[in-house]
Structure 1
Amino acid sequence: MKLSDSVMRSFRVAKLYKDQNTERINSIDFSHNGETMISSSEDDSIVIYDCLEGKPKKTLYSKKYGVDMIRFTHAVNTVIYTSNKMDDNIRYLSLHDNKYIRYFSGHTKKVVSLSMSPIDDSFLSGSLDKTVRLWDLRSPNCQGLMHLQGRPVASFDPEGLIFACGVNSELIKLYDLRSFDKGPFTTFRLQQDRDCDWTSLKFSADGKLILISTNGAVIRLVDAFSGQPKQTFMGHLNQKGLLLESSFSPDAKYVLSGSQDGKVHVWNAENGTKTAVLESKHCESPMHCVQFNPKFMMLATAAQHMAFWLPSIDE
């Protein structure tokens, strides 16, 4: 099945998991093979889902440190995550035996951006201390440090050769991983978002586009090579400054975002038109997390409850 407007409009909640979390889910991530998904929640829980069978497999807890952003490494049985209690360290956890493999210390304020390299054991973290750090899973020591002029968001490109840092909600700086210490090789300046802050930055799977989520009413789409603004997506509700995730479909033809009223908004990435507004079964809670499975025709959304969506038509 290929994604089309009619397929996107046909997505319905196939499974709703109401008993896994008592507070809002703050982060979700799919494994590279699409077979497993993981969530973190304000209730300090980490839930592992089997995407093939559509059911939760295991729940772990991070009661002492809390858990905020969570990302799979290249192994489906290990993750890295940030904390929302105690300290600003990043933790490397084995899901198999619920044991920490390593801590990554250095940030002095809350970590607000976390990106795993698509090709090796390196990862990026950005913090409210106005730094972006480059790490390697095999070493507790920071491999690189960039001081920036504002709140950063950072992400690897799909080939893992360059990474982008969004700074102060107006600049995108591109770095070559092999020579990042020489500074960015290009900088794009966008019109500054005065009413909101950039909260995440994602590359499309083909590396041609950059999607910028904000804590306001706009989502921006930028050409990754020229820095030219391509689209501004609006229409979803975000009047409370929430961190609502926006994501690409795997073919980068569509952009999806959660909304304050629990709906999922879908836009055409090429022409910017609204393709669909999908009604969820999350009640009317804000939809914080929205991601497409990278391998299967499946969508995951999270508010306080996790939902798996499937298309209801065959094409």
Structure 2
Amino acid sequence: MHIMKLIDYVVRSFKVAKVFRENSDRINSLDFSHNGETLISSSDDESIVIYDCERGTHKRTLHSKKYGVDLIRYTHAANTAVHSSTKIDDTIRYLSLHDNKYIRYYQAHQKKVTSLCMSPVDDTFMSSSLDKTIRIWDLRSPNCQGVMHLPGSRSVVNFDPEGLIFAVGINSELVRLYDLKSFDKGPFNTFKLPQDKDCDWTGLKFSPDGKTILISTNGQVIRLIDAFHGTPLQVFTGHINNKGLPLEASFSPDSQFIFSGSTDGRVHVWSAESGNKTAELCCDHTGPVQCVQFNPKYMMLASACTNMAFWLPTVEDNI
């Protein structure tokens, strides 16, 4: 199950090994632990579900009935997570998964939090909101460590794999790169991309090798750009998004393949280098697949609608 080389025929061989039906409503986000051993998900049914990836089992279910839960992210300790709220207010909450108690609250956003990301190297995390701000936080302090006021209401943000720089997507047409230590000096690079009709950017991710940036939308388009120069590299299409949903797109750990959900219940896979469709993986998904991520350490894919599916390759590793 450890990562073997991902090549086309291995990708096409992926089949669903296990389907979990723990949730009664849409799973809105998921995140693998750094060691790949567990997966956490949040759902519109206000539950947080933890899975054991090595055993392929459901581990625990916690609830956030009072505040709701979205955008759940593991911190560096696999027994804690941060998440945004869907009820009462727009506070970000730091949760101990061990005893299901909140450790700390991060209060500042005045409107819905649209993206949340942990630094890959330390206790820093970032959030962007419909209140036109991006905020930088440290897990250890309830006080915001930095704030950026942005033009336009919708922004998405994420760290590079080294945790040294971050990218901000603004108004579904600009990508700005900042040095984390001197972000208040303004961006060191800005890329303007062609605007896609009828869709907004809903996610932004650096490739694991740091060379490219993947931009997902609530439309029929996924974009891949060069992380250094902003050059458009690929536009991935052919998946279905006819409901205006924020479908997650993700990289394979070797940065070679792009995976995306679809409203037709399938997982679509493209080659990052050629832009060509590699596979359409069929599943028992009963609704739109909004969340798709590849395990960082094991040869395993997770996708979610209301159900959670674990995928494994069905060819032997003889490479």
- What TM-score, normalized by structure 1, do the two folds share? 0.99
Structure 1 residue 15 and structure 2 residue 18: aligned? Answer: yes
Q: Distance in 2 between matches of 1:239 and 1:47?
A: 28
RMSD after superposition: 0.6
Aligned pair count reads 313
Q: Give, as a single letter, the amino acid of the residue that structure 2 aligns with 1:249.
A: S
Structure 1 residue 140 and structure 2 residue 142: aligned? Answer: yes
1:27: which partner in 2?
Answer: 29
- Deviation for aligned residue 1:120: 0.5
Give the gaps of 5 or more residues in structure 1.
none
2:254: which partner in 1?
Answer: 251
Q: Counterparts in 2 of 1:108-257, with a 5 A limit?
A: 108-150=110-152, 151-257=154-260
2:296: which partner in 1?
Answer: 294
- What TM-score, normalized by structure 2, do the two folds share? 0.97
Q: Give, as a single letter, the amino acid of the residue that structure 1 aligns with 2:309.
A: A
Q: Distance in 2 between matches of 1:297 and 1:240?
A: 31
Q: Distance in 2 between matches of 1:22 and 1:194?
A: 33
Q: Give, as a single letter, the amino acid of the residue that structure 2 aligns with 1:110.
A: K
Cα distance per residue 1:185-224 (max 9 Å; x no partner)? 1111111223100000000011000000000000000000
Q: Distance in 2 between matches of 1:274 and 1:206?
A: 21
Q: Distance in 2 between matches of 1:141 and 1:5?
A: 47
Q: Distance in 1 between matches of 2:70 and 2:244?
A: 17
1:106: which partner in 2?
Answer: 108
**Matched residues, percent identical?**
69
1:281: which partner in 2?
Answer: 284
Q: Distance in 2 between matches of 1:130 and 1:196?
A: 19
Q: Give, as a single letter, the amino acid of the residue that structure 2 aligns with 1:100.
A: Y
Find the residue that maps to 1:265 and give its secondary structure.
Answer: strand
Q: Distance in 1 between matches of 2:125 and 2:218?
A: 24
Cα distance per residue 1:6-41 (max 9 Å; x no partner)? 0000000000012x1011100000000000100000
Question: Among 64, 67, 83, which residue is 1:65 paired with?
Answer: 67
Q: Distance in 2 between matches of 1:275 and 1:121?
A: 37
- Deviation for aligned residue 1:125: 0.1
Moved over 3 A (4+): none
Structure 1 residue 307 and structure 2 residue 309: aligned? Answer: yes
Bigger drift between 4-13 and 188-197 goes to 188-197
